[in-house]
A and B are shown apart, each in its own frame.
Chain A
Amino acid sequence: MYLEIPRKFGAIVHQAQQVARSVFRPISRKYDLAEHAYPQELDMFAAIMDGMNDGAADGGAGAGKLARSGGKPSEGNVNGTNMKTVLGLTELCWGDVGLALSIPRQGLGNSAIAAVASEAQLARLGNTWAAMAITEPGAGSDSAAIRTTATLDGDHYVINGEKIYVTAGERANAVVVWATLDRSKGRAAIKSFVVEKGTPGMAVVRLEKKLGIRASDTAAIRFDNCRVPKENLLGDPEISVDKGFAGAMQTFDNTRPVVAGMAIGLARAALEKTRELLAPVGLEPDYQLQTWQQPAVIRELQLLEAELEAARLLTLRAAWMADNGQPNSKEASMAKAKAGRVGNAITLRCVELCGSLGYGETELLEKWARDSKILDIFEGTQQIQLLIIARRLLGKSSSELK
């Protein structure tokens, strides 16, 4: 048993930290204020990131590498792509969550493609920047209730419907769209389709103005008789009982720890900044067993740090399990639930502890407290994670425990 981050990941953590510090932080406030402006600074950085991943001997890290590693039982103990991606994203989000979500070719759609694409599709689509479009105005948490349809017409599928809240939906080169082949057949008929930018019939109709992560574009996209080649359906085109949908849902087992990692990076930033602001006042962290004799703020910081550390270790566990081919649905949701809520609570508390300094725009604390909320919502809300965990623990189906 050993719970330290392996030395071999020191380089990637260091690199990501440099990017967060030197690329993201200096432009963090700029793009928070200039919502919907494209952060050009990221293009150059994305090229570096591509180079890092392509050159990595152990398969690299990032959204497009995630899921492939899961599933196969490994020999011996592996610290692999999942852990590395979590660690990388944690550091990047220490810099800025919105910008991290805007890194070209690191979209959630890339994870979906990596998870279910055939070899041929991977060769064709693997290097694109793909956003993910599941959510609709009438269906969010209940993703099986989507209404967007895909109808086979010759060599093409014709897609009709409306998707909302598509992260990087405007900037990405493609969107992975969930649509149903036959609404009467339930979740088994839900398939994902890659729709490339510029395909006639697909239009970005709106960019949302948001509470936080304003550097990340969140698009509403309409599909009006949008024709995509048959080969763009990811995975198996047959409507088999639930298998395809379950497969798609499994992608979340790999992406949830990454989102948890994002919350951890962000919360760590807030804690570090709070300590930095408190130091000149003579309040420095002082780890004690009897905490009730300490100044309230010192005890609170120790507690927040403990909560953050718990979230971090739960997240590393989930990623480690994925790296080692162990089923990790429950643990991935535990990590996401814990990190989502403590990340949010920590950033909000740090604003409070720093008073008007925390609340004002001079520091980034108030921004982090706005950014953190989304991490407890997307990729499954807090409640959805608790539901998944409870169903696993109690052995309940979704019809029993709704």
Chain B
Amino acid sequence: MTRDPIGLALSLMNRVAGQAWLDRLGLRPVVEKTAYQGTRAGFRTLALAGREFRRVNEWLPKQRLPAKAPADLFNLTLDEDQQMIVDSLHRFARDTLRPAAAAADEAATIPAGLFAAAAELGLTLYAVPEAFGGVAETASPVTSVLIAEQLAWGDMGLASALLAPFSVAQAITRWGSGEQQSRYLPAFCEESPPLATIAIDEPTPLFDPLKPATSATVTGSGYCLNGFKSGVVLGAESDLILVAAELHGRPRLFLVETAGTDGIRVKPDPAMGLRAAKLARLEFKDLRLPADALLGGDDFDYQAMLDLGTLLRCGLAIGSAQAVLDYVIPYCNEREAFGEPISHRQSVAFMISDLAIETDSMRLLTWRAAARAETGQSFHREACLAHLLCSEKAVAAGSHGVQLLGGHGFVREHPVERWYRDLRSVATLYGGVHA
């Protein structure tokens, strides 16, 4: 694989010392104390001075990134670019996300400058084909998973916020018409890309993403959208929201621009975790959408869209579980009880072995599904298996993490209680992600 611009951008970043990076981008863990008293506040009209996306008259034909060729041999080695991305993002996660995470969670806000940092990393460029200003040459779900793993190792809430616009760009690249791609994708390659998200979840128990209650009806000029969405990452901040709604009895995605629209009301929807991702509830009431707001055409595959989202969700789970593992090892070696390190006790040590086994289980299942997706093979079964395994093991990892620190795990002085809260999201949310 040739080194592409994102690779270069990332390798440049390697040379930026962590501290300088923090200062330059204003990422010090001082976060403005914005009020985020979600449940008490009612819905308000979403009246963003948001970005306008210009319709283009001469649009390019739709681009579809080609699949990679399947390999001849089983191989767990990352290629040179993947390794470089992993190394760079690991530093970014360690030096930038991790130090900002506690305060971001506490204040339920995103540090100023974080999106600028992500833009500088070129995250969204990676989701956009060259013709629209990005650097993507092939579909690369594996790389997306690796990116999610690394970012979530730093913090799952911040990672979710960073990955929502990335995911929207991925989805438009994957499913959009030429006109839609021409209208939206170049913006994701600008110096400050738009904020964007995918709204799928709804406030109902046993929610099945295949059956959204939000509905779209056909009008003379386009569509009319009605319904509720919950747990939407960056729901109140986004310039563009992909909304899952039923049309003619089938689930579809609609491109909803938030600038100057009425018909959308929003309120904070703070949750157990992922607080930095600023989850929000959205209400669509007779929201009028133009005819070209329906994402994609004949080749749109809602299930595959969900499956690709799942891969990224699993990547988040793996990264956070790995963070737990990496944290409890030194802790249990240093913490003493009954005259020796607690790690000398099997009931402690074996929990750590299990954490390692299950984290790698999640990782290998997800990697396999992503590698199949990347090489154009069927991957629905593999994505479902990965999702179920990650759902079960992620929550166990969070629980192990707190248990291993005892009372100290229960208090905010250590990050494990946050990871416990964040990891619970893996089985509960479907939106905001697309690999």
Interface residues of A (CB under 8 A from B): 1-8, 77-79, 83, 287-293, 299, 302-303, 305-307, 309-311, 313-314, 316-317, 320, 334, 337-338, 383, 385-387, 389-391, 393-396, 400-402
Contact = CB atoms under 8 A, between A and B. Distances in A.
A314 B360 contact: yes
Contact of A386 (B77, B306, B353, B364): B353
Given A1-B77, A310-B364, 6 more contacts: A2-B371, A3-B364, A4-B74, A289-B210, A290-B209, A314-B360
A1 B82 contact: yes
A289 B74 contact: no
- List 7 tightest A-B contacts by C-beta distance, closest first: A310-B361, A390-B349, A313-B364, A2-B71, A287-B384, A3-B368, A389-B353
A6 B74 contact: yes
B85 to A, nearest CB: 13
Given A6-B72, A310-B389, A396-B343, A390 B357 contact: no
B79 interface: yes
Contacts of B356: 334, 389, 393
A400 B339 CA distance: 12
Contacts of B307: 289
Contacts of A400: 341, 344
Interface string B347-377: 0011011101110111011011001100100
B267 interface: no
Nearest to B369: A3
Interface string B309-350: 010000000000000010001001100000001011010011
B75 A77 contact: yes
Given A302-B384, A302-B388, A390 B352 contact: yes
How would you classify the secondary structure of chain B's contact residues: helix, strand, loop or mixed?
helix
A310 B341 CA distance: 32
A314 B360 CA distance: 8
B329 A394 contact: yes
Given A2-B375, A320-B74, A290 B207 contact: yes
A294 to B, nearest CB: 10
A386 B341 CA distance: 18
Given A290-B210, A394-B352, A307 B76 contact: no
Contacts of A303: 388-389, 392
B353 A289 contact: no
Contacts of A390: 343, 346, 349-350, 352-353
Contacts of A305: 385
Interface string B132-155: 000000000010000000000000
A4 B70 CA distance: 9
A317 to B, nearest CB: 6
A288 B384 contact: yes
A257 B403 CA distance: 31
Give the size category of B's interface with A.
Answer: 35 or more
Contacts of A289: 209-210, 306-307, 310, 383-384, 387, 430
B74 A2 contact: yes
A77 B77 contact: yes
A288 B325 CA distance: 29
B353 A393 contact: yes
A393 to B, nearest CB: 6
A178 to B, nearest CB: 26
B40 interface: no
B78 interface: yes
A4 B209 contact: no
Contacts of B380: 287
Given A3-B364, A310-B364, A387-B346, A83 B353 contact: no
Nearest to B372: A4
Contact of A292 (B206, B371, B389): B206
Given A1-B78, A320-B76, A314 B361 contact: yes
B333 A395 contact: yes
B208 interface: yes
A401 B382 CA distance: 37
B9 to A, nearest CB: 22
Nearest to A395: B333
A386 B349 contact: yes
17 contacts: A2-B70, A2-B73, A2-B75, A3-B74, A6-B72, A288-B210, A290-B206, A291-B388, A306-B388, A317-B360, A317-B364, A383-B346, A386-B354, A387-B346, A394-B333, A400-B344, A401-B343
A402 to B, nearest CB: 8
Nearest to A292: B206
B391 to A, nearest CB: 8
Contacts of B364: 3, 310, 313-314, 317
B181 to A, nearest CB: 27
Contacts of B196: none
Contacts of A311: 361
Contact of A314 (B344, B357, B383): B357
